[in-house]
Structure 1
Amino acid sequence: MVIAWWAALLGLLLAIGLILFRVNPVYALIFGAIVGCLVGGMSLTQTTDTIVKGSSGVMGTIIRVIAAGVLAGVMMESGAANVIASNIVNHFSDKLAILALALSTMALTGVGIFIPVAVLIVAPIALEVGQKMHYSKLSLLVALSGGGKAGNVISPNPNTIAAAKGFNVDLSQVMIADFVPAVVGLIVTVLLATLIKHRGSFVPDDQKFESKQQDDLPSLKAAIVTPLVAVVLLLITPVGDIFGIKALASFNLDAMYILPIAGLIGTLAMGQSKKFLQYMAKGLARMTDVVMILIGAGAIAGLVSASNLPQKVVEIVQTTGISGTFLAPIAGILMAAATASTSTGVILASNSFAKSIMSFGISGTGAAAMVHTGATVIDQLPHGNYFHVTAQAVQMHFKERMSVVLWEMLVGLSMTIVATLMYGNLF
C-alpha cells in the first residue's frame, strides 16, 4: 500500500525531533519510521516489511563503508594521517598558514579520514599556529572545517559512497564530479578564514603545547602510498571511459575491493604488516556508529519510499515554477540539517528522492554531486556530534562555536552552487 505523504512527513519530523532531544539517532530514525507507517494505515506486519526493505536497501552502502574501514584504520592507527598533515603545514610559510591548515584537513578527509577525526588531528597544530600568528580560534576552525568539507566531497568516505550508491553510479564518478566544487570550497574557506582572522577569541599566549611523538611514524613517502594506491585504482575505469581504452573501461573494480587492497599495500609499504589485523579491527570499530546510523536512515527512507511524499514534493516544485534541478541540492541541505550528519543526510535524500530528482532529466552523477555538496551546507548543527567534537578540539565554548556555523555554511553553499551550475542543466 502507498502511505499518505503527511504520515511519512510526520514520521520524519518525529525522528528529527527525537534527535534534537538527544535520543540516539538510530533509535530515533527507526521509531519515526514505525510511527509513520502505523499512522499511515499499515499493519504491524506491513510496517515491519517496509522497515526491513528500507534497511536492506542500504546494505550495498554498508558493505562499502565497512571496506572503507580498512583504509581509515591504516591511515589513522599507523600515524600516516598525522605525517601527511604535519608535512603540509611545515612546507608552507607563515603567511600561508591558513591555506596550509585548510589544505591539511582537505587532504586527510580526501584520503578517507572522517572529518571530525581530521579536525582532531590538525587542531593541535592549528592552535600553535594561531598562537604564533595571533589568529583567532574562529578563523582557525573555519579553516579546518571548511577544508574538511572540501575534502569530504571527493573522498571514499561513507557520505560519498552513499551518494554513489543512491544514484547507482561508481564511487569514482562522484569523486571526480565533486572535484571542481571542492577546489572552490577550499578557496572560499581560505578567503573567509583570512577575512575573520582577527575576529573572536584567541589562543592564550601562555598556553603550552606538548608535542606528542608517536613511535615508528612512517616517512612521508610511505604514508602517501595508501591514498595514492586507492586513487589510482579508483580512477582506472573513469580514465578508460574518457580515453576510450576498453581494457581500462571494463576494469570495474568496486570500492569494496579497492579500499582494503590500498590499505594492505600501504601497510606493507610502511613496514607494518604485523599490525595490519590490528589496523583492520580499529578501522571497523570506527565504522560501527556509521553503519548503525545507515541502518536507521534506511528505515526512514523505506517509509518515505512507501509514501507519495516524493511525488508531492515534485508537484510543489512544478507548481511553483522552480527548476526541478533544485530538488537535488535542497534535499541534501534539508536532510543533512535535520540529522546534523553528512552521510545520514545523503542517504536519506538519495534513497527517498532519487527517482523524483532523476525524473527531471538529471544524470545520476550530476544528481549525486548536487545532493552530496548540498549535504555539506548545514550539517554541523548542535544536535550532531561534529559540532561538539570540533568545539572541544579548539577549546571553544558553545556560543562561539555557534558563530562558526554561518561561515561553514557559506563554504558548503559555495560548493553546492558550483555543483548545481555544473550539473543542473540550468542553461
Structure 2
Amino acid sequence: MAEAIHWYGAVSGIILAIILILKKVNPTYSLIIGAIAGALIGGSDLAETVSVLITGAQSVMGTVIRVLAAGIFAGIMMESGAAVSIARTIVNKLGSKFAIAALVLATMIITGVGVFIPVAVLIVSPIAMEVGKETGISKLALLLAMSGGGKAGNIVSPNPNTIAAAGGFDVSLSSVMMYGFVPAVFGVLMAILLANLIKNKGPKVAESDFESGSDDKEYPSFGKALVAPIVAIILLMLQPIAQLLNITSLANFALDSMYVLPIAGLIGLLAMKQSNQTLSYMSIGLEKMTPTVLILIGAGAIGGVITASDLSVQVVNLIKQSGISGTLLAPIAGILMGGATASTSTGAILASGSFGQAILDMGVAPVSAAVMVHTGATVIDHLPHGTYFHVTGNAMKLSMKERMQIVGYESLVGLTMTIVATIVYGFIF
C-alpha cells in the first residue's frame, strides 16, 4: 500500500494545501484536503487513502500530548502576570540608554520561557510604547526589536514549534533548545543592530497610541516570576548535562517535557501564591494550544501521504544530481514551509513531517536537522497572509503599509539564525 503513492501525488497534496492556506481556508482542513487529494492523485484508492491519513495522524500523537502539556505552563506564565513582570524588570534595569537591547532581550526571554511569540509581542508592546514615548525611537524600530527578539527566543523555547521539530526527528526537546542557543545569540545581535539602524525611520509614538484606563493588576515579583522557567530549564537540561559529564545514573533518568512543563508551571504558581487559579490557567492554556494541536493532526495526515510515497527518494536523487549539498535541504524546507504557511509552528511541523526522512537520508544528524529546519521556519514566517503580521502591527498601531516596511528586516534576523545554524551544525559539527 505504502509504495502505491507516487511522488507527484505527495507534491500535489502539499501544493494544494498551501494554496488553500493562502486562500484563508482553515489550516487543518487545508492540510487534510491536501492529504486526501495527494493520496488519490498519487495512485492510492479510497480505502488506502483513509489508512494512510490515519497512520500519519497517529504518528504525531506524541507531539500532540507534549503540546497539550506545554499549554499548562504557557497558560500559567501568561495569565499569572509572570511574563509581564519579567519584561518590565528587564526594560527598567537596562534603562533608556539600552532601550532597544532591553526590548529585544525582554521579548526573547518571554518567548524563550514558553509564551507564544505573538502573545509575547502583545505583552511587551505596551512597555515598548512607553519606551518610544520617552526616547523618541520609532514604532518600526520598536516592533523590529520585539519581533527579532521573539524569533530568537522561539528557537530555544518549549513552544509547539520546538516540540514539533524535536518530535519530527525523534530527538529530545532539550537538545533542540540547547542547540538553538548559538543561532539565537546571533539573532539577538542582528535584531539589536537592525533596530538601531532604523530607530529614526517611520512614525513615532504619539499620545493617541495609548489606551485610556489604568492597569491596576498586581504582578508577581521578578524572582517569583522566574521560578517556573528556571525549574523547567533545570529539569529539561538535566539529562543532556549528565550525558556530557558522563554521569550514567542521572543520564538514564529521562525527563520528558510532557511532565516537566506542567510540574514547573505548578511549582511556579505555588511560588507566586496563585494556586487558587490553577484550574482557570490550565483551561486558558489548553485553549491557546488547541489550534496548534488541530494543525498537528492535519500535518500528520499529509505527512503520512509523503511517508507512504517515494518523494524522499526522488528528492535525495535530485539533490545528488544537482551537486548541491544535501545539508541545505533542511533549512530550505523550513524556509519554504514557514513562508507558505506564515507560521513558525506550522512551518516546522510541515517541513519536518514532509521532508524529514529525505533530510536524514542525506546523512544529516537528527538534532542538526531539527535545528536547521526550525531556524529556517523563522525566515519568512511573518508574511501578511499569517496572523502574526496583523497582530503585531495592530499592537503598535501601525498601518499595513507601515508594517510592511520591516518585513525585510525581520527576514534578515531569521536568515542570520538559519545561516549560523547551517554553518555550525550542518558543516562544522
TM-score bracket for the superposition, by shorter chain length: over 0.9
Distance 1:282 1:206, change over 3 A: closer
**Which residue does 2:221 correspond to in 1?**
219
**Which residue does 1:85 correspond to in 2?**
87
Q: Distance in 2 between matches of 1:307 and 1:142?
A: 41
Q: Distance in 1 between matches of 2:213 and 2:401?
A: 29
**Which residue does 1:249 correspond to in 2?**
251
- Partner of 2:427: helix, strand, or coil? coil
Q: Distance in 1 between matches of 2:213 and 2:87?
A: 14
Q: Which amino acid aligns with 1:410?
A: L
**Which residue does 2:369 correspond to in 1?**
367
Q: Distance in 1 between matches of 2:370 and 2:266?
A: 29
Which residues in structure 2 correspond to 1:233-248 (within 5 Å)?
233-248=235-250
Aligned-residue offset at 1:228: 0.5
Distance 1:66 1:214, change over 3 A: farther
**Which residue does 2:51 correspond to in 1?**
49
Deviations 1:323-367 (A, max 9, x none): 111011011111111111111111111122222211222211111
Task: Please provide the CA RMSD for this pair.
Answer: 1.4
Q: Which amino acid aligns with 1:272?
A: Q
Contact 1:325 1:426 in 2 (8 A): no
Q: Which amino acid aligns with 1:254?
A: D
- Partner of 2:94: helix, strand, or coil? coil
Distance 1:210 1:100, change over 3 A: farther
- Give runs of ≥4 in structure 1 deviating > 6 Å: none
**Which residue does 2:381 correspond to in 1?**
379
**Which residue does 2:173 correspond to in 1?**
171
Which of the numbers 68, 81, 92 marks the counterpart of 2:70? 68
Q: Which amino acid aligns with 1:401?
A: R
Contact 2:209 2:397 in 1 (8 A): no
Contact 1:362 1:423 in 2 (8 A): no
Which of the numbers 115, 118, 130 marks the counterpart of 1:116? 118
Q: Distance in 2 between matches of 1:206 and 1:154?
A: 36
**Which residue does 1:402 correspond to in 2?**
404
Structure 2 unaligned blocks of 5 or more: none
Q: Which amino acid aligns with 1:57?
A: S
Contact 1:105 1:122 in 2 (8 A): yes
Q: Which amino acid aligns with 2:110?
A: L
TM-score (norm 1): 0.97
Is the counterpart of residue 280 in structure 1 residue 277 in structure 2? no
Which residues in structure 2 correspond to 1:109-188 (within 5 Å)?
109-188=111-190
- Partner of 2:309: helix, strand, or coil? coil
Aligned-residue offset at 1:204: 2.1
Is the counterpart of residue 102 in structure 1 residue 104 in structure 2? yes
TM-score (norm 2): 0.97
Aligned-residue offset at 1:384: 1.3
- Percent identity of equivalent pairs: 58
Q: Which amino acid aligns with 1:8?
A: A
Which of the numbers 311, 329, 332 marks the counterpart of 1:330? 332
Q: How many residues align?
A: 427
Contact 1:239 1:248 in 2 (8 A): no
Q: Distance in 2 between matches of 1:228 and 1:205?
A: 37
